[in-house]
Every structure is written in C-alpha cells, then in structure tokens.
Amino acid sequence: MKTGLLLLQSIATSTRGCRTVLPTALSTFQTYAFDSSSSSSSGCHAKVGAAAYAAAGLIGGTSTVVLCSNDDGSNNSSSSNIKKAIPVRKSIDDPLHILQHNPSLPFPESSIKHDTYNGVTLDVTKVPQLSDASATDSSTFGEMLSNALNIWSDEGRRGIWIRIPTSHAHLIGSATKLGFDFQHAEPGTCVLTKWLPKDSESRLPNGPSHQVGVGVLVLHPLTGKMLAVQERTGPAAARKLWKMPTGLTDPGEDIAAAAIRELKEETGLDVEFDKIICFRQAHGGLFNRSDMFFVCLCKLAPKYETLVKQGGEIELLPQEEEILCADWIDMEDYAVQGVWTQSPLYKEMNRAMIDAARKGIEYSSSEDGDEAHGFVSKVLPVGFRPGSNAIYVSSKL
C-alpha cells in the first residue's frame, strides 16, 4: 500500500466501482491510498480533499484522478466510472482550486485572473468593449468596473489589480475615481490596485522598493592589482575618483550575470563570476527607493592568464559613452582616495575587498578555496514548478 501522490501518478487498467467524489472543502488535506499492486482501482480508499488539487498544481501536464464511491472500495456498475482531469497551475500564485467564472460580471472570463490571496487581476486589453480610445470608452469602463467591484465585494474578494498599457491610458481616470491608486509603473504599463475589505487595512504589497546594483572586483593574474575605471559623468567623475566597474541589474537578471555583463560593457573583458564579497543596503535614493549594492569578485577568463604568461598585455577597451579610462591600480592606492577615507562605510567595504584578495588571489574554485570567504552562486531548479533560481550561499558552508 502506498499513500499520497501515487493516486495522481498512475491509473489502473480497470476502474470498476469508481465515480467522482468532488471535494467539498479545499482548505484541508485528507489522507488517501491506492493499491498499486492491483489491476483494479477497487483497492482505492478515498475521501479526497485538497491534496489532489494541490499535487496537480505542482507537477507538469494534466493529472487524471479516479475517485472511489465508497470508503471500502466496493464495486458499482462500470457506468459510474468518472475520471477527473485537473489542469496544471501555470503559476504558484494561481489558486489551488478552479474558480467558476461569475456570469454576472461585466468582464469576460478571459480578462480575469484569480490569485491565491483571494484577489483578482483585470486585463483591460481582453475586454472587447474597451478597444477605442475615446471618452465614451472611458465612461463605459467606469460603469463596468463599478458593477464588478460590487460583485467582487459580495464574493469576499480582497485585492483588485488592473494592468493598463499605454494604449489604454485613457481608462486610468475612471479607475482612480473608484478608489484605485497607482501600485507601480514601467515603460508601456502601469498597475493600479484597490483593497476591497472595509474592516481591515490594505494588505497589498507596495510597489518595487529597491534597485539592485553590482560592483565588480577583478584582479590581475600576475600583479594582483585591481581593475579600476574613471567615469565620464556622475558624482564619481566630479571627484576624479577611481572606482570598480559598477552598474544596475536588468529586470530578470541574476546578480552574477549582471556582474559579468557590466564588466564586459565597461572594459571589454570576459570574466567568470566567483562570489559576492559583501553587500550594502542604502535608502533614500532615486525616487526615494532603496538600493542593494553587491560587491562581486570575478576571475578573468583563462585566455588572459595564458596571454600574460607569454609576455602579452591585457587590452582594456573602455566603453566610449560612459568610461573615460581604465587601468590596473594597487588596491591600497585605491582604498586611500580621499572620499573613501572620509567614509566609515566605504572604509569597511574596501577592507572587505582587500581581505578577499589577501595572500594572493583566493578564488572559491581554487585549491585554497576553503580559505576564501563570500557567497557563491548556485542556480538550482525550483522543483515544484518549472524554472530555476539563483541562490547565494556562504562559500565556507
């Protein structure tokens, strides 16, 4: 006898005595079992709850579930055999159970998406009545949205989200008149939200609060000097400051990938990500956003070490639009620049960088890697849904 997901993984060749038992409560998991040694599903003992639906959302494809009519697995006529096909959740934010579309809603089912927080997202581009950018169109949307809000309130919905592309920007005013406010905006789209429960404060998340930046420490394979640049514009340029190559991550870009890309763009060099040495959090930046800045140690590609051992020089190709010059400088000279010595924060950051390069170059991949400190990157499958994420763990663990 095996329990749990086996019921979802295989269906016996015979399904005598089975019919659908729809779960009445999807908030709890119930135990069920399947006798895999039998060619008949009469060995199935089940009152199936949310487990079947949850499991279907965590595996690929469509899962077919056969549910028995009696707890003892007794047979009924084969005409009562029913197989329940459960579609896979496309996102972890999708609800575990299938929600029936309310036909009273003025918006088509294709334009509405439910989430696991009892919220609703409306895609206005999928509403046929909203195809024209006119005042009539905006008025129509206001009436439709008002009716929908009443229905969603009666249903106990919580957060309502509306994605409005630039092509439908004329609808924004109608939404704000009904209590919607901006959650965030990006090129081509803005998102508005409204919290429906009147007896509680909004639990909807704020818009994006942080930008993520990287600084790249690269050491010369023979001299141990660090690669530094002077920028053409910005606060560092005004101080004629030597700094490590830096930049912001792109949307959907891992820290390790951003470090490799930024260095290539600013200096033309190819590197391999080794580890995060340290990171800094700051607040009150551009548009009052916070900033996460990761100092990354990267190792030059093997071709450069071969080149310098043969007496060649590493060619630096400063990015013409942003970088005035690039060069290899002593780390101690870098750390004693006036602006750095006046800052306890940057003195600590520079100390961490120098410490990372002590006793020569201690990369995590080297034979002496056990002595190296920092956070190395591991890109691993999520497992319960498609895709992989990067996790940064201490190189000492």
Q: Which residues of 81-108 are buried (b: 16+ CB within 10 A; e: fewer)?
A: beebebeebeeeebbbeeeeeeeebebe
Q: CA 183 to CA 164: how far, in whole Å?
A: 11
Name 68's Cβ contacts closer than 8 Å, sequence gap at least 6. Answer: 17, 18, 19, 21, 41, 42, 44, 45, 46
What is the C-alpha R_g of the chain?
Answer: 29
Cβ-based neighbours of 380, under 8 Å, separated by 6 or more: 388, 389, 391
Helix (H) or strand (E) segment spanning residue 229: strand 226-231
Task: Decide: helix, strand or coil at residue 79.
Answer: helix
Q: Which residues are catalytic?
A: 265
Q: For CA atoms 28, 29, 31, 35, give the dihedral sign.
A: positive
Q: Which of 238, 237, 239, 258 lies closest to 247 in space, CA to CA?
A: 258
In the block, residue with structure tokens 């040495």: 277
Long-range contacts of 204-207 (CB under 8 A, 24+ apart): 204/159, 207/182, 207/183
